[in-house]
């Protein structure tokens, strides 16, 4: 062929982190069909959807089977019933949102990557280590990227530095992969910095429901955030929707640059390139935020945090340094024995048949670290802990 292609794709790693891990694990499983592999790599939930959610989805399915209650295309920004439920969820943290600031989508991953459509050639600031979609989606657009190192000395929470200039800053709290969470005063510093420099904060709150301490669940709890931040969130981890797909993005009315409203731009983008989330799924998501549904979400989160506690106790007993597992479903540990991240990945897979995620896959500052997820079943997590206790 002779067409022009987006050559920035040449700058990407050969495969997306979790695809690469999947490929290596499949290769090992094919070669060792007798081994029981425990997967604590990708943060995929294992508990089923809760009863309030599935009841609401079954009812919605029945409505779709009847001409008088059938729904065709959904509104591109989501049904009002779900946006109202999301607005009530934010009101529970003291944040007031208007319905036209909330955009329902098929998940946080796509929204985070698609937000690059709104942006020109800015300097992009990305924490290192962090969820790889921020980096890959910007490499695909050929953006200039500056990494913000996250390490033990700054508690894995980068703060504005004196040489940072106007740009787009990705923040993730509670953090994937380190589990670190920004305090109110730290986020206030970010918001003040962004307003002073005319920067945009892209705040990923996908793990907010796992917060148990006194930390902000939303950037919009911070004064001034409505003029400098977009927030992305998801039902995947909160309500077990990884395979059901539903998320949302909040774009405040007050975000304006170069005479253009980012809220209007996002609506324009979504209505052109996206046809909404299915009625059945949105009814399920609405049910997840009902009092009964949210209680079920918290019960599942507490089950996963019970897994986190078991992993943390083991690491403490082994004297292995770690963070996370308190306000996030991830445990971020120092690879024992001076191994690098991928060496430790191979060791765990080959010797203990446990899959985790190599820290280096989240950025170069993640080298020498490793992430375990608490999203496994209790049985598999306990079995993994037993293997680690005996052989690590
Ligand atoms: C992760 O393991 O980091 C997440 O599950 C990936 C995702 O949410 O896309």
Supply the residue whose CA is at minimum distance from atom 9 of ligand 1.
109
Distance 66 CA to ligand 1 centre (A): 37
| Surface-to-core class of residue 121, CB atoms within 10 Å of its CB (0-12 exposed, 13-18 middle, 19+ buried) | exposed
pTM: predicted TM-score of the whole model, two decimal places: 0.97
Q: How far is CA 43 from the centre of its chain?
A: 9
pLDDT of residue 363: 96
Q: What average pLDDT does range 226-240 have in this prediction? A: 98
For the record, the structure tokens of 301 come out as 């989160």
Residue 219 · residue 231 · CB < 8 Å: yes
Q: What average pLDDT does range 56-69 have in this prediction? A: 98
End-to-end CA distance of the chain: 52
Q: What average pLDDT does range 187-212 have in this prediction? A: 98
Q: How confident is the model at residue 6 (pLDDT cuts 50, 70, 90)?
A: very high
Supply the residue whose CA is at minimum distance from atom 1 of ligand 1.
43
Residue 85 carries which DSSP code?
H
Q: Which residues touch 359 (CB under 8 Å, ≥6 apart)?
A: 129, 177, 332, 335, 341, 366, 367, 368, 369, 370, 371
Distance 131 CA to ligand 1 centre (A): 7
How far, in Å, CA of 53 to CA of 85, rounded? Answer: 14
Q: What average pLDDT does range 319-341 have in this prediction? A: 97
How far, in Å, CA of 108 to CA of 238, rounded? Answer: 12
Nearest C-alpha neighbor of 17 from the set 341, 351, 360 = 360
Q: What average pLDDT does range 126-131 have in this prediction? A: 96
Q: How confident is the model at residue 34 (pLDDT cuts 50, 70, 90)?
A: very high
Which among 43, 106, 107 is the best mutation to test ligand 1's pocket, defined by most ligand atoms within 8 Å of the CB? 43
Q: Determine the Cα angle at 121 with ends 115 and 125, to 5°.
A: 70
Q: How confident is the model at residue 99 (pLDDT cuts 50, 70, 90)?
A: very high
Q: How confident is the model at residue 85 (pLDDT cuts 50, 70, 90)?
A: very high
DSSP 86-126: HHHHHHTTT----GGGEEEES-HHHHHHHGGGG--S-EEEE
How far, in Å, CA of 130 to CA of 74, rounded? Answer: 33
Q: How confident is the model at residue 14 (pLDDT cuts 50, 70, 90)?
A: confident
Q: How confident is the model at residue 124 (pLDDT cuts 50, 70, 90)?
A: very high
Distance 42 CA to ligand 1 centre (A): 6
Asked if the model's pLDDT at residue 100 lies above 90, the reply is: yes
How far, in Å, CA of 247 to CA of 270, rounded? Answer: 13
b/e per residue 291-326 (b: at least 16 CB within 10 A): eebbebbeebbeebbebbebbbebbeeeebebbbbb
Ligand 1 pocket, residue 176 CB under 6 Å: yes
pLDDT of residue 176: 97
Taken in order of first residue, the domains within the chain and their CATH numbers are 7-49+294-391 (3.90.1150.10), 51-291 (3.40.640.10)
**DSSP helix/strand/coil, 42:** coil
Q: How confident is the model at residue 342 (pLDDT cuts 50, 70, 90)?
A: very high
Count of other CB atoms within 10 angstroms of residue 215: 17
Asked if the model's pLDDT at residue 392 lies above 90, the reply is: no
pLDDT tens by residue, 130-176: 999 999 999 999 999 999 999 999 999 999 999 999 999 999 999 99
Q: What average pLDDT does range 292-319 have in this prediction? A: 98
Mean pLDDT estimate for the chain: 97
Residue 357 CA, closest ligand 1 atom number: 2
Residue 356 · residue 363 · CB < 8 Å: no
Residue 261 · residue 88 · CB < 8 Å: no
Residue 30 carries which DSSP code?
H
Distance 43 CA to ligand 1 centre (A): 5
Q: What average pLDDT does range 46-63 have in this prediction? A: 98
């Amino acid at each position: 062929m002779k067409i022009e292609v987006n050559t920035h794709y040449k700058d990407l790693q050969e495969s997306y982190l979790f695809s690469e891990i999947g490929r290596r694990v499949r290769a090992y499983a094919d070669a060792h069909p007798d081994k029981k592999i425990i997967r604590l790599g990708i943060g995929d939930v294992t508990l089923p959807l809760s009863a309030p959610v599935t009841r609401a989805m079954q009812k919605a399915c029945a409505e779709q089977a009847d001409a008088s209650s059938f729904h065709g295309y959904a509104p591109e920004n989501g049904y009002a019933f779900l946006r109202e439920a999301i607005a009530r969820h934010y009101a529970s943290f003291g944040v007031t949102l208007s319905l036209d600031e909330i955009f329902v989508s098929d998940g946080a991953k796509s929204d985070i990557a698609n937000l690059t459509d709104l942006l020109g050639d800015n300097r992009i600031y990305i924490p290192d280590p962090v969820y790889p979609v921020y980096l890959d989606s910007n490499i695909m657009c050929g953006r200039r990227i500056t990494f913000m190192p996250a390490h033990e000395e700054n508690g894995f929470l980068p703060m504005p530095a004196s040489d940072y200039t106007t740009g787009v800053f990705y923040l993730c709290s509670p953090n994937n992969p380190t589990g670190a969470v920004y305090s109110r005063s730290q986020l206030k510093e970010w918001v003040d910095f962004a307003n002073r420099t005319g920067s945009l904060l892209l705040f990923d709150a996908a793990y907010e429901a796992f917060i148990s301490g006194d930390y902000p669940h939303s950037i919009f709890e911070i004064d001034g955030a409505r003029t400098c931040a977009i927030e992305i969130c998801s039902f995947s981890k909160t309500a077990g929707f990884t395979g059901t797909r539903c998320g949302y993005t909040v774009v405040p009315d007050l975000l304006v640059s170069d005479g253009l409203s980012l809220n209007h731009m996002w609506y324009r983008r979504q209505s052109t390139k996206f046809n909404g989330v299915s009625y059945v799924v949105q009814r399920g998501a609405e049910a997840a935020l009902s009092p009964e549904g949210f209680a079920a979400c918290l019960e599942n989160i507490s089950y996963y945090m019970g897994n986190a506690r078991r992993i943390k106790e083991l690491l403490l007993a082994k004297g292995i340094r770690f963070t996370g597992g308190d306000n996030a479903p991830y445990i971020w540990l120092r690879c024992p024995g001076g191994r690098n991240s991928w060496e430790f990945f191979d060791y765990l897979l080959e010797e203990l048949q446990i899959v985790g995620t190599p820290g280096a896959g989240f950025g170069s500052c993640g080298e020498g670290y490793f992430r375990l997820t608490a999203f496994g079943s209790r049985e598999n997590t306990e079995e993994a802990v037993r293997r680690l206790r005996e052989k690590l």
